[in-house]
Structure 1
Amino acid sequence: MYSFSSSLFSNRFLQRSTLSPPPPPHILKVSSVRIEEKPQNPQSPPPSPPVYKPNGTSAPQVPQVSSSKPSSSSSSSSSSASANKIKRFSQPSLPSTFCNVFDDIINKFIDPPIRPSVDPKYVLADNFAPVNELPPTECPVIKGELPPCLDGAYIRNGPNPQYLPRGPHHLFDGDGMLHSLRISKGRATFCSRYVKTYKFNLENQAGSPIFPNFFSGFYNLPGAATRGIVTAARVVTGQFNPTGGVGLANTSLVFFGKRLFALGESDLPYTVRLTEEGDIETVGRCDFDGKLFMGMTAHPKVDPDTGEIFAFRYGPVPPFLTLFRFDAEGSKKPDVPIFSMVQPTLLHDFAITKRYAIVPDIQVVMKPIDMIVGSGSPVGSDPQKVPRIGVIPRNATTESEIRWFNVPGFNIMHTINAWDDEDAIVLVAPNILSIEHALEQMELVHCTVEMVRIEIKSGKVTRRTISSRNLDFGVINPSYVGKKNRYAYMGLGDPMPKISGVVKLDYGNNGVKEAVRNYGDGCFGGEPFFVAKDPDNEEAEEDDGYVVSYVHDEKRGESRFVVMDAQSPTLDIVASVKLPRRVPYGFHGLFVSERDLTKQLPHH
């Protein structure tokens, strides 16, 4: 999920994991996993894939993924299914065999998964367990009718490990899988596809994990040193090429420049396409004509009025933070390195106003000394650090105009919105009160939503709590990004990372009101998303629309897509779609209208 977590699997498991129907919800069980036999068609690993050029002549060939289940719509999408057929191989080379053996030794004796936060029996329990791909499959609408404004596709990204790990595995380490519900004239078609990253393709053809997991694999010096040696050996012996990308594309999505991107901040964006039949195809990594390298945030901001896109990347070496932007056509502008961020910090999200970009400098930092002395992960909290907020003109070409404001105790992983208010800026965001648990014990994390006002000239900072509930994964009406707004739709942690319902916050007129929709006993969802009834109507009320999400019933082992009336005092569910199989819990989603889907650029 994060830039410091440049993914991936160092543990050897030479068989592909698939899932039986969801198990009863008793924790610590992964008995739902069955192992398929490996194909016997050896072939050498592929070289680094070509990078997709938005205005180039060709796109890389997408590996093929076979349809695991028939569907009523699959016959009409045979070409799409053919474009998603996976070829898998199992005969490892001699160097690969040696590396796999050493991986087993490391995972069993040197650095086994003894902590619950990286033990696959905990991390991948119940509906966190991975699923197979699913070709486009029609779904019944079991309640109400799907509103016309939902014509398009709701897509949610999340981790779904290709191989069941035997060694340490963090929730953020799974390969990216997109779960899409294509809606047209009241009918729904569901599809699940992996993002065919370089890592995914290489490991799929090798028949085993090749890349190391950062969060779970480098927690102490013995584990880090030995896994580092194995990784170096794999590179030297040609098992993978680091220039091909090491990311997972498992965090979020964004649509701009007539392209849909799957994002994970440890790598370049991956361009994906939704077909008319509802299938998902990976086009390839996109470097924007060689102007983007190393990575990009999974939370870029799209200005709804200008179409500009604002983004950043961060890393463990100076400059620890770099800002950049794209014009409305998707052309990248020059980098703006921020050298006044003096310590490598986990910077997952930021905000924009019409005039400024706002970046947090929080207490989650890179701590290699802790790893060396064997006392912790290379990423952890620094209680001595005072959190700051950086404010810089969003079209700045240098960091000369950035100003930093101390905001003690304000640690944010996500933002909700920000806007200009005369000579001040206002930021609304969930504040993590227990930042020391943000990566290791997420069930202990509690986030309260705060409104922070910063007077630019005087430097005065004022704060007020909007809600003391445990809320995160907040969204707004996308038409209000960077502008003063009134409503936010938040995921209710019970505990995090499970979401037991949606809370609508009304923080207008100096007061706070709440509307709450609980999903029910044993039912959990994810990040909500707001879809306006008429996004082109400038006179429409801000909350005139619907809130959508995937929801899973752990008792019945069923998942559904729910549509809630955003203006209802209790967020009434007005429509529900039964999905053909369970959808694992994930990260961030996006709704793309039919109008935007028809604008997608072709592969060539």
Structure 2
Amino acid sequence: MASAPVSPSERAPFPSKPSRVNTKIEVTDSKVSANRALDLLECFLSFFSTSLVNFIRPPLHPSVDPNHVLAGNYAPVSELPPTDCVVVAGELPKSLNGTYTRNGPNPHHQPKGPHHFFEGDGMLHSIRFSDGQATFCSRYRKTYKYALEDNVGSPIFPNVLTGFYILVDLGRCAVAIGRVIKGQIDPMKGFGLANTSLAFFSNRLFALVESDLPYTIRLTEEGDIETIERCDFAGQAFLNMTAHPKVDVETGEAFAFRCSPVPPYITFFRIKMNGQKQQDVPIVSMKGPTFVHGFSVRKQYIVFSESQLEMKPLKLMICKGMPVSAELDKVPRIGVLPRYALTESEIMWFDAPGFNAMHVINAWEEGEDEIILVAPNVISIENLFHNIEMVHFSLEKVRINLRKGSILRTTISKKNLVLGSINPSYLGKKNRYAYMSIGEIVPKMSGVVKIDLELECEVSRRVYGAGCFGGEPLFVAKDGATEEDDGYIVAYVHDENSGVSRFVMMDAKSQTLDVVAAVKLPRRVPYGFHGLFVRESDVQNMD
């Protein structure tokens, strides 16, 4: 995961003292003595843990060693208020007005002990377009976790993936439990990072992560990004949901699920256009606590993958590594559930040996009996968290026959195509084109290819150049477009040779994905995860 070094001037300084935010930790007079004792205990445990880290503990695995994980363009950056940008190649289309925002991890404080790349505090990097001009901004998601740690001035929550990686790290957990007992931390307010993706539905923009509820975000006319609140969808009692809800552009409904390490392991639900969450549909027939990341929704069905990746929280408590691991003896399955099912009574399961899909590009129905699913299959899934440089992706088309109860898998490409997008108007409908990133070492992508799903082949590509890497390519349709591929592919691209990051816009219809415009950003954008384009009309109508 390592990349070119970042100069000290480019690296975000971890705060030496807390910068106050709106969320406050209230301490009453009756709790002063208890809090002083807790503070002394925290200081002791911190000193004890640091001493063991520095003098006793053996070297950390590179995948959780902060010195490795946060090197180069993985290093965090500080917030940046709205700043004008310079177009250095081509010209931004004046008809394309709106905001492209990408989510990703960006630790606010120096990690204490093991740290996985997936665990950094969420930061949104946004570029707003107006009449051919661009404004860039970077802001942290002001989550409950962020606000508490900002007040304290250091990490106080155990990390989900590495919080109990070794026995000494239980000290921070003990302090966190003490804060819960003293009323300083309310676990019902969540401890998620909001660092994975974005979604727009019910006239609201959400920042999401699997371990928590989403946070609503507001984009200002000046190009700034504001965190509004943690959203429970009209007071519904639930604690987390997928980072990849699917939105039906015709009905305005959002479909989602939540995973759990205890039965039921997955529960589906939908959210009406007015923001009202509907009843849960627990899937009790799932064999184990599978980590489900992506899924697909069609006109009649919901399709998801029960992979070999499972959540094992007990491994944390006995210090046996990460709580997510691959069960290689398990046979993966594909689940098909009626779109508006009220129970799982009509669910259909299909064995799919070796098929581990974390993200779904698209799926659609052909006739009454078949569903087509397109997704990158994760090869060597056992390396996904510890040795990600050894992971390879194979783009597959899966034909699911509901009448025969069978599947037929076809490999479209073995060229390590990792993340991708389609024209969002075709979500859940038959489409022809997908735009996929060329994997280097996730999440570093060396270029983008256009895949013809009908011909099942690559039809065009663009490589960013030596030492240049981007992330997930996002398709943005032109205003008034009538053809599926009439639009742009956009991504942030970082040059590790110069340390400069750019926003790149490519012509999706051209034979070589020609660059329409390149915008030099006022500072680098660390590698991250998923992005979204919100048109100006939607920005103006946000609740």
| CA contact 2:14–2:109 (8 Å) conserved in 1 | no
Q: Does 1:95 align with 2:74?
A: no
Partner of 2:17: 38
Partner of 1:486: 432
Report Cα offsets for 1:92-114 as digits up to 9, x if no partner: 95513422431443354276761
Structure 2 counterpart of 1:564, from 497, 506, 509: 506
2:335 and 2:59 map into 1 onto residues whose CA distance is 38
Q: Return the offset for 1:369.
A: 5.6
Report Cα offsets for 1:188-207 as digits up to 9, x if no partner: 00011111000111111111
Partner of 1:76: none
The secondary structure found in structure 2 opposite 1:217 is coil
The secondary structure found in structure 2 opposite 1:547 is strand
Partner of 2:93: 147
Q: Return the offset for 1:595.
A: 0.9
Q: Return the offset for 1:495.
A: 2.2
- With over 3 angstroms needed to count, the CA separation of the structure-2 counterparts of 1:27 and 1:155, relative to structure 1, is closer
Partner of 1:284: 229
| CA contact 2:504–2:518 (8 Å) conserved in 1 | yes
Partner of 1:81: none
Matches within 5 A, 1:418-429: 418-422=363-367, 423-429=369-375
Partner of 1:322: 267
Report Cα offsets for 1:347-402 as digits up to 9, x if no partner: 11111111100111110112356556654322201011000010001111111111
2:120 and 2:384 map into 1 onto residues whose CA distance is 18
The secondary structure found in structure 1 opposite 2:77 is coil
Partner of 1:179: 125
Structure 1 counterpart of 2:185, from 233, 237, 240: 240
Partner of 1:457: 403
Partner of 1:341: 286
2:242 and 2:388 map into 1 onto residues whose CA distance is 21
Matches within 5 A, 1:116-155: 116-155=62-101
- With over 3 angstroms needed to count, the CA separation of the structure-2 counterparts of 1:277 and 1:372, relative to structure 1, is closer
Q: Return the offset for 1:145.
A: 1.2
Q: Does 1:205 align with 2:151?
A: yes
Q: Does 1:188 align with 2:131?
A: no
Partner of 1:306: 251
Q: Return the offset for 1:318.
A: 1.3
The secondary structure found in structure 1 opposite 2:337 is strand
Partner of 1:442: 388
Partner of 1:532: 477
- With over 3 angstroms needed to count, the CA separation of the structure-2 counterparts of 1:375 and 1:163, relative to structure 1, is closer
Partner of 1:332: 277
- With over 3 angstroms needed to count, the CA separation of the structure-2 counterparts of 1:578 and 1:33, relative to structure 1, is closer
- With over 3 angstroms needed to count, the CA separation of the structure-2 counterparts of 1:383 and 1:44, relative to structure 1, is closer
Q: Which amino acid aligns with 1:461?
A: I
Report Cα offsets for 1:378-434 as digits up to 9, x if no partner: 220101100001000111111111111100000011110000011111100000111
The secondary structure found in structure 2 opposite 1:95 is helix
- With over 3 angstroms needed to count, the CA separation of the structure-2 counterparts of 1:282 and 1:41, relative to structure 1, is closer
2:46 and 2:305 map into 1 onto residues whose CA distance is 37
- What percent of counterpart residues are identical? 56
Partner of 1:71: none
Aligned residues: 531
- With over 3 angstroms needed to count, the CA separation of the structure-2 counterparts of 1:209 and 1:466, relative to structure 1, is same
Report Cα offsets for 1:44-70 as digits up to 9, x if no partner: 95269xxxxxxxxxxxxxxxxxxxxxx
Structure 1 counterpart of 2:299, from 354, 357, 361: 354
TM-score calculated relative to the size of structure 1? 0.84
Partner of 2:31: none
- With over 3 angstroms needed to count, the CA separation of the structure-2 counterparts of 1:199 and 1:424, relative to structure 1, is same
- With over 3 angstroms needed to count, the CA separation of the structure-2 counterparts of 1:193 and 1:116, relative to structure 1, is same
Pairwise CA RMSD of aligned residues?
2.5
- With over 3 angstroms needed to count, the CA separation of the structure-2 counterparts of 1:302 and 1:35, relative to structure 1, is closer
Report Cα offsets for 1:155-179 as digits up to 9, x if no partner: 0000011002131111111111111
- With over 3 angstroms needed to count, the CA separation of the structure-2 counterparts of 1:465 and 1:272, relative to structure 1, is same
Unpaired runs of at least 5, structure 1: 1-22, 49-91
Partner of 1:467: 413
2:541 and 2:377 map into 1 onto residues whose CA distance is 38
2:21 and 2:217 map into 1 onto residues whose CA distance is 28
Q: Which amino acid aligns with 1:262?
A: A
TM-score calculated relative to the size of structure 2? 0.93
Report Cα offsets for 1:446-472 as digits up to 9, x if no partner: 001000011001111100101101111
